[in-house]
Every structure is written in C-alpha cells, then in structure tokens.
Amino acid sequence: MAGRNHFELLGLPVSFDVDPADLSARYRSLQRQLHPDRHSGGTDADRRLALQLTASLNDAYQTLQNPVRRAHYLLELSGVATDGEDTHMAPEFLMEQMELRESLADMHQHADPRTKLAELASHTERMMQEKIADFRHAYARGGAGFRTARNAMREMQFIDKLRREIGEREEDLA
C-alpha cells in the first residue's frame, strides 16, 4: 500500500466527485483490516507497518471527505503548484470576503444576531457550492483548466475559513 495515492488506497477512481457513503464504507472496511490491534501478536515490524498504514488511511480519508482538501490534493496529484507565487485573486471576490467578514465582526450589533448569522451561513454555503462547481468544471478540462481550478480551490479555502468562523460565532451565541 505504500506509495499509493489516497484514491488508490481507498479503491476509488481519481475524481473530484466522491460518494460520501461509499468513501465512509471503504474507510471503515480498511480500518477494520488494518487496525493495529489485529496485528498485536505480530512482530514489531508488523505492528509498526500496521500503525503506518492506519495513519495513511486516516490521512486519505480526512483529505477525501473534505471538498477543499480533496481539490487541493487533486491539483497536487496533477502536478499543479498550489502554494506557489501566483496568489492573484479576483478583486471582486476579495472585496466580497472583506464585506462578509465585516458583517460577521459586526454581528453583535444586529437586533437578531442568530437570524443574521443564519443568513450569512446560507450565503457562504451558496458561495461554496458555486466554487465547487467552478472547480469541478475547470479540473475536468485539465491542461489550461488547471489554473482556473487552482483559483477556484483558493477561493474555496477562503470561504471554508469564513464558514469555520461563522460556526465558531454560532457556538458563541448558543
């Protein structure tokens, strides 16, 4: 199993589209097979290998179940630099992100912060779905589409961070 990519490890085709139920079922099945407790009677080398394989399996599952991490991983598999010098983003997108963050920061000033927060969460979810569709389309084109896919993935990262911040604010209000 060493040297295999996350998709191969889980027996899935290399694709952005992953069925969450299938991914989970494959993960649980492999987890049962590879669990270190099943190798407790083996040699030290067997136990170490089982631990390494379990760690690789956990990393693969965590990566593939998250669309942002999956997009990043697919670009890396395709040889696309994802952390390089080209960090240009559309000014409109950046401006919208600033406005959304200001809205989140000013949440306590609203008469009904829970409702406003729910609206913000809904808006960011729609944005994420749009960027996922953009990524899916650009990645499927390959070649020249990879640059567009990389930009969509970066925007997905921004939106994902904002969603986490909204989630934290929701917990604070609970």
Q: Evaluate whether 6-65 and 91-173 have a shared fold.
A: no
Predicted confidence (pLDDT) at residue 98 exceeds the cutoff of 80: yes
Cα gap 173→93, rounded to integer Å:
28
CB 168 within 8 A of CB 83: no
Whether domain 91-173 has CATH 1.20.1280: yes
In one-letter notation, the amino acid at residue 171 is E
Q: Which fold has domain 6-65?
A: Helix Hairpins (1.10.287)
CB 5 within 8 A of CB 63: no
Predicted confidence (pLDDT) at residue 44 exceeds the cutoff of 90: no
Three-class secondary structure of residue 19 per DSSP: coil
Q: Note the pTM of the prediction, 2 decimals.
A: 0.87
Q: Where exactly are the structural domains of the chain?
A: 6-65, 91-173
CB 81 within 8 A of CB 134: no
153: CB partners within 8 A, 6+ apart? 68, 71, 72, 75, 82, 135
Please, which pLDDT band fits residue 14 given cuts at 50, 70 and 90? very high
39 torsion bin: left (phi>0), alpha (psi -120 to 50), beta (else):
alpha
Q: How high is the pLDDT of residue 39?
A: 66
Phi and psi for 111 in degrees, rounded to 5? -60, -35
Please, which pLDDT band fits residue 146 given cuts at 50, 70 and 90? very high
> How many CB atoms sit inside 10 A of residue 75's CB?
19
Please, which pLDDT band fits residue 130 given cuts at 50, 70 and 90? very high
